[in-house]
Structure 1
Amino acid sequence: MIVGTAGHIDHGKTALVRALTGVETDRLKEEKARGISIDLGFAYSPRADGAVLGFVDVPGHERFVRHMLAGASGIDLVLLVIAADDGPMPQTREHLAIVDLLGVARGIVALTKCDLVDDERRMAAEIEVAALLSGTGLEGAEIVPVSSVTGEGVAELSAKLDALRAETPERKSEGRFRLAVDRSFTLQGAGVVVTGAVRDGIVRVGDAVVVSPSGLEARVRAIHAQNRPAEDGRPGERCALNLSGPGVSKDAIARGDVVAAAELHAPTDRIDVELRLLRDEPRPLAMWTPAKLHHGAAEVPARVVPLEGDALAPGATGLVQLVLERPIAAAALDRFVLRDTSGARTMAGGRMLDLRAPARRRRSPERLAQLRELGREDHTEALRRLLAAPPHAIDADALLRDRNVAPEEARRILDALGVTLLPAGRSGTIAVAPAVWSAFVADVEAKLGAHHAENPDLQGMGAERLRLSVEPRLPGAAFLAALRNLQRAGAIVVEGAWARLPGHEARLAPVDEELWEAIAPKLGGEERFRPPRVRDLATELGEDEADVRRVLKLLGRSGQVDEVAHDHFFLRETVAEIVDVAESVAAAEPAGVVTAARLRDRLDNGRKVAIQILEFLDRHGVTIRRGDERRINSRRRDLFRRAALTERVEA
Structure 2
Amino acid sequence: MIVGTAGHIDHGKTTLVKALTGVDTDRLPEEKRRGISIALGYAYLDPVPGQGRGEGQGAGGEGGDGAGRRIGFVDVPGHERLVHTMLSGATGIDHALLLVAADDGVMPQTREHLALLSLLGLERATIALTKCDRVDAATRARRHDEIRALVADTALAGAPIFEVAATTGAGVRPLREHLIAEAAALPPRVGAGLGFRLAVDRVFSLPGVGTVCTGTAHAGELAVGDELVVLPPAPGQAPLRARVRSLHAQNAVAVKASAGQRVAIGLVGLEKEEVGHGQWLAAPEVAQWTERLDARLRLWPEEARALRSGTPVHVHVGAAQVTGSVAVLGGLAGRPVEALQPGGEAFVQVVLHRSIGAWAGDRIVLRDASATRALAGGVVLDPHAPARYRRTPQRLAELIALTADTPLQRLEGLLGQAPMGVDLVRFAAGQGIAGGTRAALVAGIGAAGGAGATGGGAASVAAGNAVGYAAAGSAGTAAAGDITVVPGADGPLWALGAAQTAQWAYTAQERLQRYHQEQPEELGPDLARWRRLAAPRMAEPLWRALVQRLAAAGRVVVSGATVHLPAHGVQLSALDERLAQKVMPRLLAAGFEGVWARDLAKEAGEPEALVRTTLARLAQRGELFQVVKDLYHAPPAIQALARIARDSAADGDVKAAEFRDRSGLGRKRAIQVLEFFDKVGLLRRVGDAHRLRNDCQLFIEHPTPQQRRGNDPGGSAGLQIR
TM-score band by shorter chain is 0.7 to 0.9
Aligned to 2:75: 57
Aligned to 2:349: 321
- After TM superposition, the structure 1 = structure 2 runs for residues 3-42 of structure 1, keeping only pairs within 5 Å, are 3-42=3-42
- C-alpha change, 1:170 and 1:281, in structure 2 (3 Å) is same
- 1:219 has 2:249 as partner: no
Aligned to 2:690: 634
Structure 1 position 396, deviation (Å): 2.3
Structure 1 position 133, deviation (Å): 0.8
Distance in 1 (CA, whole Å) between partners of 2:158 and 2:590 is: 91
Q: Is the 8 A contact 2:328 2:340 kept in 1?
A: no
Q: Is the 8 A contact 1:278 1:314 kept in 2?
A: no
Structure 1 position 134, deviation (Å): 1.8
Structure 1 position 5, deviation (Å): 0.3
Paired residues in the alignment total 618
Deviations 1:400-442 (A, max 9, x none): 3321235675443322223344337799611234455456556
Aligned to 1:461: 525
Q: Is the 8 A contact 2:486 2:545 kept in 1?
A: yes
Distance in 1 (CA, whole Å) between partners of 2:241 and 2:116 is: 33
Aligned to 1:423: 486
Distance in 2 (CA, whole Å) between partners of 1:541 and 1:204 is: 75
Corresponding residue to 1:337 among 365, 384, 392 = 365
Structure 1 position 467, deviation (Å): 4.1
Deviations 1:602-627 (A, max 9, x none): 879xxxx99xx99x99x9899xxxxx
- 1:121 has 2:139 as partner: yes
Q: Is the 8 A contact 2:527 2:680 kept in 1?
A: no
Aligned to 1:207: 226
Corresponding residue to 1:67 among 85, 98, 103 = 85
Aligned to 1:258: 280
Distance in 1 (CA, whole Å) between partners of 2:83 and 2:531 is: 53
- C-alpha change, 1:446 and 1:225, in structure 2 (3 Å) is same
Distance in 2 (CA, whole Å) between partners of 1:408 and 1:3 is: 33
- 1:102 has 2:120 as partner: yes
- 1:151 has 2:215 as partner: no
Q: Is the 8 A contact 1:12 1:81 kept in 2?
A: yes
- C-alpha change, 1:520 and 1:221, in structure 2 (3 Å) is closer
- After TM superposition, the structure 1 = structure 2 runs for residues 259-338 of structure 1, keeping only pairs within 5 Å, are 259-308=281-330, 311-315=338-342, 316-338=344-366
Which secondary structure state, in structure 1, belongs to the residue aligned with residue 444 of structure 2?
helix
- C-alpha change, 1:573 and 1:341, in structure 2 (3 Å) is farther
- C-alpha change, 1:523 and 1:156, in structure 2 (3 Å) is closer
Structure 1 position 230, deviation (Å): 2.2
Over the matched positions of the two proteins, sequence identity in percent amounts to 40
Q: Is the 8 A contact 2:309 2:339 kept in 1?
A: no
Structure 1 position 323, deviation (Å): 2.5
Distance in 2 (CA, whole Å) between partners of 1:37 and 1:2 is: 19
Q: Is the 8 A contact 2:594 2:634 kept in 1?
A: no
Matched AA of 2:527:
A
Structure 1 position 238, deviation (Å): 1.1
Which secondary structure state, in structure 1, belongs to the residue aligned with residue 429 of structure 2?
helix
Deviations 1:75-126 (A, max 9, x none): 1100001112322222111111111111111001111122222323222221
- C-alpha change, 1:85 and 1:419, in structure 2 (3 Å) is same
Which secondary structure state, in structure 2, belongs to the residue aligned with residue 307 of structure 1?
strand
Distance in 2 (CA, whole Å) between partners of 1:603 and 1:141 is: 81
Structure 1 position 12, deviation (Å): 1.3
Deviations 1:284-327 (A, max 9, x none): 44434332221111122323233235743342322222232332
Distance in 2 (CA, whole Å) between partners of 1:239 and 1:390 is: 39
Distance in 2 (CA, whole Å) between partners of 1:393 and 1:369 is: 14
Distance in 2 (CA, whole Å) between partners of 1:603 and 1:107 is: 76
Q: Is the 8 A contact 1:373 1:385 kept in 2?
A: yes
Structure 1 position 73, deviation (Å): 0.8
- C-alpha change, 1:642 and 1:384, in structure 2 (3 Å) is closer
Deviations 1:208-245 (A, max 9, x none): 322322332222222222222222222232121222x2
Distance in 1 (CA, whole Å) between partners of 2:311 and 2:691 is: 40
Q: Is the 8 A contact 1:496 1:643 kept in 2?
A: yes
Distance in 1 (CA, whole Å) between partners of 2:338 and 2:493 is: 36
TM-score normalised by the chain length of structure 1: 0.80
Distance in 1 (CA, whole Å) between partners of 2:494 and 2:679 is: 29
Distance in 2 (CA, whole Å) between partners of 1:67 and 1:472 is: 48
Structure 1 position 195, deviation (Å): 1.1
Distance in 1 (CA, whole Å) between partners of 2:411 and 2:221 is: 25
- C-alpha change, 1:548 and 1:364, in structure 2 (3 Å) is farther
Corresponding residue to 2:108 among 53, 65, 90 = 90
Which secondary structure state, in structure 1, belongs to the residue aligned with residue 359 of structure 2?
coil
Distance in 1 (CA, whole Å) between partners of 2:500 and 2:589 is: 48
Q: Is the 8 A contact 1:420 1:431 kept in 2?
A: no
- C-alpha change, 1:252 and 1:507, in structure 2 (3 Å) is same
- C-alpha change, 1:510 and 1:134, in structure 2 (3 Å) is farther
- C-alpha change, 1:636 and 1:177, in structure 2 (3 Å) is closer
Which is worse superposed, 447-456 or 48-57?
447-456
Distance in 2 (CA, whole Å) between partners of 1:490 and 1:288 is: 53
Distance in 1 (CA, whole Å) between partners of 2:693 and 2:79 is: 63
TM-score normalised by the chain length of structure 2: 0.73
Distance in 2 (CA, whole Å) between partners of 1:342 and 1:484 is: 57
Q: Is the 8 A contact 1:291 1:341 kept in 2?
A: yes
- 1:348 has 2:376 as partner: yes
Unmatched segments (≥5 aa) in structure 2: 50-65, 234-238, 331-335, 446-457, 462-484, 646-654, 658-664, 682-686, 703-722
Which is worse superposed, 389-398 or 505-514?
505-514
Distance in 1 (CA, whole Å) between partners of 2:487 and 2:316 is: 35
Q: Is the 8 A contact 2:19 2:166 kept in 1?
A: yes
- C-alpha change, 1:107 and 1:532, in structure 2 (3 Å) is closer
Distance in 1 (CA, whole Å) between partners of 2:211 and 2:19 is: 31
Q: Is the 8 A contact 1:204 1:231 kept in 2?
A: yes
Matched AA of 1:390:
A
- After TM superposition, the structure 1 = structure 2 runs for residues 159-558 of structure 1, keeping only pairs within 5 Å, are 159-174=177-192, 175-214=194-233, 215-243=239-267, 245-246=268-269, 248-308=270-330, 311-315=338-342, 316-391=344-419, 393-406=421-434, 410-417=438-445, 418-421=458-461, 422-423=485-486, 429-434=493-498, 436-437=500-501, 440-441=504-505, 444=508, 448=512, 452=516, 455-463=519-527, 466-467=530-531, 474-487=538-551, 492-501=556-565, 504-507=568-571, 531=596
Q: Is the 8 A contact 1:333 1:375 kept in 2?
A: no
- C-alpha change, 1:57 and 1:637, in structure 2 (3 Å) is closer
Distance in 2 (CA, whole Å) between partners of 1:114 and 1:548 is: 105
- C-alpha change, 1:455 and 1:63, in structure 2 (3 Å) is same
Q: Is the 8 A contact 2:596 2:632 kept in 1?
A: no
Matched AA of 1:634:
H
For the aligned residues, what is the CA RMSD? 4.7
Which is worse superposed, 138-147 or 406-415?
406-415
- C-alpha change, 1:253 and 1:390, in structure 2 (3 Å) is closer
Q: Is the 8 A contact 1:398 1:428 kept in 2?
A: no
Structure 1 position 183, deviation (Å): 0.6
Q: Is the 8 A contact 2:486 2:492 kept in 1?
A: yes
- C-alpha change, 1:482 and 1:5, in structure 2 (3 Å) is same
Deviations 1:331-382 (A, max 9, x none): 2111111223432222222111112222222222212211110121222222
- C-alpha change, 1:4 and 1:461, in structure 2 (3 Å) is same
- C-alpha change, 1:549 and 1:406, in structure 2 (3 Å) is closer
